[in-house]
């Protein structure tokens, strides 16, 4: 089955939403796994977009999807920030020893 470019954007949005759910439950391993999924989808999207273009109405939907992905990403970063801070403190403590 051939996927449209919009299908890739929707799949990335879905993975992004799953990352947010994982961040809310502090499942950092799942977030790393889903980041890998997103990386694969983005690579596939880049490859497909060399030969395909979105129709005008699809570009509008793409813009809406991208806005939702950015909002989701921002929320993930807020949730991850305490974890990142803890990691930095652990790394700093290891460097002292």
Taking 3-state DSSP, the helix, strand and coil percentages for the chain, each rounded to the nearest 5, stand at 85, 0, 15
Q: Which of residues 96 and 92 earns the better pLDDT score?
A: 92
Distance CA 65, CA 73 (A): 12
**What gap in Å lies between CA 31 and CA 51, rounded to an integer?**
31
pLDDT, tens digit (0-9, with 9 covering 90-100), for 29-46: 999 999 999 999 999 999
Q: What is the pLDDT of residue 96?
A: 58
pTM of the model: 0.80
Beta-carbon contacts of residue 54 (< 8 Å; ≥ 6 apart): 5, 6, 62
Angle ∠(55,56,58) on CA atoms, nearest 5? 65
pLDDT of 88 reads: 73
């Amino acid at each position: 089955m051939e996927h449209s470019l919009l299908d890739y954007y929707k799949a990335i949005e879905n993975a992004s939403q799953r990352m947010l759910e994982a961040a809310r439950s502090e499942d950092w391993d799942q977030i790393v796994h889903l980041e890998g999924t997103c990386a694969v989808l983005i690579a596939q999207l880049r490859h497909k977009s060399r030969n395909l273009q979105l129709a005008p109405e699809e570009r509008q939907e793409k813009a809406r999807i991208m806005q939702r992905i950015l909002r989701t990403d921002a929320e993930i970063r807020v949730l991850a920030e305490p974890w990142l801070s803890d990691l930095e403190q652990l790394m700093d403590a290891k460097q002292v020893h």
